[in-house]
Structure 1
Amino acid sequence: MLKRFHFWAIPLSLGLFPACQSTSPQSNTAVNNATTAGAKEAPVAREVRVTEGSYRTYVTALASDDMEGRKPFSNGEKKTLAYLEREAKALGLEPGNGNSYLQEVPMVEITSAPAQTMTVKGKKSMTLKGLEDYVIWARRTEENVSIKESELVFAGFGIVAPEYNWNDYAGLNVKDKVVVVLVSDPGFYSSDTTFFKGRTMTYYGRWTYKLEEAARQGAKGCLIVHATEAAGYGFKVVQNNWNTSKFYLDSKGKNVYRCAMEGWITTPVAEKLFAAAGKNFQTELQRAAKPGFKGNALSLTMSTSLKAKVRYDKSYNFIAKITGSKRPEEAIVYSAHWDHLGIGKKNEQNDSIYNGAADNASGTAGLLAVAKAFQAQGQKPDRTMVFLSVTAEEQGLLGSQFYAENPTFPKEKTVANLNMDMLNPYGTTKDIVLIGIGQSELEEILAEEARKESRYISRDPNPEAGLYYRSDHFNFAKMGIPALFTGMGIDHVQLGKAEGKKLLDNFTANVYHKPNDEVNAAFKTDGAAADLQLLYQVGKRLAFSNQWPQWKSGSEFKSVRDQYMAK
């Protein structure tokens, strides 16, 4: 899964945050806010720290060649899960799924072989070239998918968002048709920062949402118009999906409708399509970004085909826990994904193992290091601490989706989720990036803990990329559970901001999702340990309190939580 981490450090004053007044879901009265920002914390267990040595041991093992890149369905998965179980037992952690540390995740792998061309017919007809003009894949488990002269319908941004009084599908019949939609949100094209969330991407701007909504509307296919700035990455990234396999949760026995075909087209292709329909694409884009937009048929049909190879198999989430001493039914979930890309194309050094040290052996090692710190406290937390390492994040957040739909602790009893994905591999920084600012009251706690360590939190400099919706915490957020996600800072303690940014840019350009994302001489562990200390402290404050952090006004997840907590 693509995660763009180009962060600029912009200090956030604690004064930007409103006072935290969390309430219990069992009543409307204020609870003990001893752990809110500025309040004195009640004495609890002895002070411990997440040790760099423990983290280095764990991340070195998880990112070793012996783990074979930790791809689901592989021998690397078996080795990874065996290692996690062995280390959990050594730490004295309890199994988190009944008597087992494992949660079975049934999945299906669909390997698509699209036709090399797509034919479009209308007043002006054209033939599009696969890979160059479009990238498509099969979503259904049929071996042969045929799209024959299906009508093309423009549905704007493909969004149905009642809270914004927005419905691109209103009055539009797309059943068994192919919808063409735009990436990102209408707010991305507006100078009004209060329209949607301005250039900050909401969940509705994510391409995954658009495919889900097209299916809900009964469309046979969905083509998203790619735009580099709005998507946050170039079309070359999309092209990596050509003729590859995709994993999905196994929906056998469930009445789940999926589009037969999903994919992307380039902006130049969209311009040709709209011109063939007698329309100007840029004019239609601007029209779609304004209230009152109505979608319309393009008076064009398209035809293509795909062959699909289908394989059913099972992967596993790993779950360990420390049972709470006072309120064991209430849980705080630390999460990270254990999977990476396995063994693939060799690089210039003849290395074909995609070790995924930063992405995300670092987060899974962080789970163990934080769990070790909790065990070293000498006192059990009041609430249960869950350490969840999920599968198939790289395939579309599938393991965390399965857990969210099949939790070991119900959503009504899950206090918060603290997610770790791609920890700092290049040295200690003064800042830590807060992704998704303005979402929940967990931000106040993080800000105060950072201040205690003489650190500060920085804004996500690229909010239009929608990073808050691109890692495993998102599936908790969708269920209404307040979720915290942090990223790498750049204000390097020794080298400063400019050099720190160069280190991050180098990682993004030359290390991320490549075989050289491994533990080597350039891989530093002190920065990750410092960030883990902050996340440990946030979890500890929740663990020894009765605070229920809330979503903030304006968060798209607030109404979800409010609805079921009010019952």
Structure 2
Amino acid sequence: MKNALKIIVILLFISCQNEKKDNAEVAVIDQATIGNHMERLASDAFLGRKPFTEGEEKTVNYLKDEFENLGLLPGNGDSYFQDVPMVEITGTPSENMTISGNNGSFNLKALKDFVATTNKVETEVGLENSELVFAGYGIVAPEYGWNDYEGIDWKGKTAVVLINDPGFQSGDSTLFKGNEMTYYGRWTYKYEEAARQGADGLIIIHDTAPASYGWNVIESGWSGARLVIESDLPLLNVESWISGESAKKMFDASTLKGQDYKTLARNSDFQPIPLALKATVGIQNKIKKDVSKNVVARIPGTDRKDEFIIYSAHWDHFGIGKTIEGDSIYNGSVDNASGTAGLLAIAEAFKKSNTTKRTVVFIAVTGEEQGLLGSAYYAENPIYTPSKTVANINIDALDSPGKMKDLTIIGYGQSEMDEYAEAAALEQNRYIIPDPDAEKGYFFRSDHFNFAKIGIPALYASGSYEGFDQTIEEIKKAKDHYLTYKYHQPSDEYQAETMELSGVQFDLQLFFNVGLTLANEANFPKWYEGSEFKAARK
């Protein structure tokens, strides 16, 4: 049945494309537009585009002006902005986290060995001789018969957990989703679950492979000011990471000395294990309440103007932070000046095209780097009725050294958006593949996730595996270089003399073609049976 639907969708897409070609040439995404906006947004003048800074003010006004210059209408009533109330918490952890036990104590050093943050809007929080309990992966998943917290009263205790989920590198494709990360594997879930259990704190053990990034990303991402949306949900006093080396030191001093704690945690009958250790750490907070902004613009439809296609990309990055090799501005050229420039380039292409039957909306969201905050706020306070929102196409961190043969779909197998993407890829003589790095949990790491959570089928994809002019090995080498040396670092800068944008343009053309098809038909893409988001659509 699924294959039959797939064939129908592809035929409808090609038919629609042919109809558009008969009426007028489909607009071409302008590569110069992409480059100009990327260079501008990633320049030092925008100060790394961090919310609540001068960089935000410059960024959101730039985007508003560019949408207005293109002839797009305000997307939130008569405004181009959606206010997103946030709290900026600048937390300074104590220099040491002290781990004490029956045989003495030792200190972990801030940043080098641990990071500690909080989402509590309080000037002073911490752990004071909080009992440490190993809680495996920190997961409660009834559908898998799994509960890492069972049998313990967590009040006054701190859970110590592994990153990712039990399926990762288990060799068992039926254990959770095998190597594909589930939401249970994400750090965001782990902090949320520990708070629901009533714990005082949670310490996640860093490990590069299951986390999919090195300790340097933890240092830069979990230090300095952070943004949160105030919530009535339970919160931890301390959210922490420790390095793998520090974890080894901790376990060597604990009741689990000499035992393989990772193997223990992978058993379905795992029970929490008190470590006979206590942790003490404090955090001093400076609190600033303010309002950040999503930037929203629209092109009204004609026949079906109350049905909506939403393009999204996050405009924010890390601003000014820890100095690395003499540079402290985190420009975020790839992440995500590329996607923000892509919104403007696609909007330009829609304005060049014939009018669309459905309304096309462009949302540049805030706070993605702080936990998908802008899209989460939109999902809780949608401007456009979710049941009337046909689909979301999300654009984040486009970076390819040339045109790609593949289109890699993050979260492949969730909805009929796969078929729309495949049909558009065929038009470009490309093939589609599921995410080969599904264990890294990218489906939960960008803004499409919050649209999916409220039932809107989403496409998040890019060419990232095999080039027309570059081999698989060459592409992997370039990708690894970016993740190691540029991702979330000041070195993610726009360099006009070496920037290759043909692959970015190729992907954006595909996203435009998919959106143009959706904007001129009556179909609503559906979630597949078995998708956890299908119920939300109903």
Same fold (TM over 0.5): yes
Sort the Cα spacing of 1:165 and 1:543 in 2 relative to 1 into closer, same or farther, 3 A: farther
1:535 CA drift (Å): 0.7
Tell me whether 1:507 sits opposite 2:486 in the alignment.
Answer: no
Tell me whether 1:240 sits opposite 2:220 in the alignment.
Answer: yes
Match of 2:359 in 1: 384
Tell me whether 1:90 sits opposite 2:69 in the alignment.
Answer: yes
- Counterpart mapping for 1:122-133 below 5 A: 122-131=101-110, 132-133=112-113
Match of 2:232 in 1: 255
Tell me whether 1:370 sits opposite 2:350 in the alignment.
Answer: no
DSSP-derived class of the 2:191 partner: helix
Contact 1:271 1:280 in 2 (8 A): no
Match of 2:309 in 1: 332
Match of 1:230 in 2: 210
Higher RCO (C-alpha under 8 Å, 6+ residues apart): 1
Q: Which of 154, 179, 187 is the equivalent residue of 2:167?
A: 187
Match of 2:3 in 1: 18
Task: Tell me which moved more, 82-91 or 163-172.
Answer: 163-172
Q: Which of 521, 524, 532 is the equivalent residue of 1:545?
A: 521
CA distance in 1 between partners of 2:86 and 2:493 (Å): 27
1:238 CA drift (Å): 1.9
Sort the Cα spacing of 1:165 and 1:485 in 2 relative to 1 into closer, same or farther, 3 A: same
CA distance in 1 between partners of 2:54 and 2:359 (Å): 32
Match of 2:446 in 1: 471
Give the paired residue count: 532
Contact 2:309 2:392 in 1 (8 A): yes
Sort the Cα spacing of 1:509 and 1:181 in 2 relative to 1 into closer, same or farther, 3 A: closer
Match of 1:4 in 2: none
CA distance in 1 between partners of 2:62 and 2:445 (Å): 27
Q: Which of 175, 179, 183 is the equivalent residue of 1:203?
A: 183
Contact 1:114 1:243 in 2 (8 A): no
Q: Which of 285, 301, 306 is the equivalent residue of 2:283?
A: 306
CA distance in 2 between partners of 1:65 and 1:173 (Å): 50
1:242 CA drift (Å): 6.0
What is the one-letter code of the residue matched to 2:342?
Answer: G
Match of 1:482 in 2: 457
CA distance in 2 between partners of 1:480 and 1:280 (Å): 46
Tell me whether 1:399 sits opposite 2:378 in the alignment.
Answer: no
CA distance in 1 between partners of 2:31 and 2:281 (Å): 54
1:281 CA drift (Å): 7.0
1:367 CA drift (Å): 0.7
Tell me whether 1:560 sits opposite 2:536 in the alignment.
Answer: yes
DSSP-derived class of the 2:370 partner: coil
CA distance in 2 between partners of 1:119 and 1:90 (Å): 56
CA distance in 2 between partners of 1:560 and 1:163 (Å): 18
DSSP-derived class of the 2:210 partner: helix
Match of 1:318 in 2: 295
Contact 2:466 2:472 in 1 (8 A): yes
CA distance in 2 between partners of 1:411 and 1:422 (Å): 25
1:521 CA drift (Å): 0.7
Q: Which of 509, 522, 530 is the equivalent residue of 2:506?
A: 530
Match of 1:423 in 2: 398
Task: Tell me which moved more, 275-284 or 535-544.
Answer: 275-284
1:137 CA drift (Å): 1.7
Sort the Cα spacing of 1:384 and 1:142 in 2 relative to 1 into closer, same or farther, 3 A: same
Tell me whether 1:150 sits opposite 2:141 in the alignment.
Answer: no
In the alignment, structure 2 segments of 5+ residues that lack a partner are none
Q: Which of 73, 84, 88 is the equivalent residue of 1:109?
A: 88
Identical counterparts, % of pairs: 45
TM-score (normalizing by structure 1): 0.87
Sort the Cα spacing of 1:268 and 1:343 in 2 relative to 1 into closer, same or farther, 3 A: closer
1:314 CA drift (Å): 1.6
What is the one-letter code of the residue matched to 1:259?
Answer: L
In the alignment, structure 1 segments of 5+ residues that lack a partner are 1-14, 23-32
String of CA shifts for 1:6-40, please: whole Å, max 9, x gaps.
Answer: xxxxxxxxx9x734379xxxxxxxxxx66667873
Contact 1:478 1:557 in 2 (8 A): yes
1:547 CA drift (Å): 2.1
1:121 CA drift (Å): 3.6
Sort the Cα spacing of 1:490 and 1:288 in 2 relative to 1 into closer, same or farther, 3 A: closer
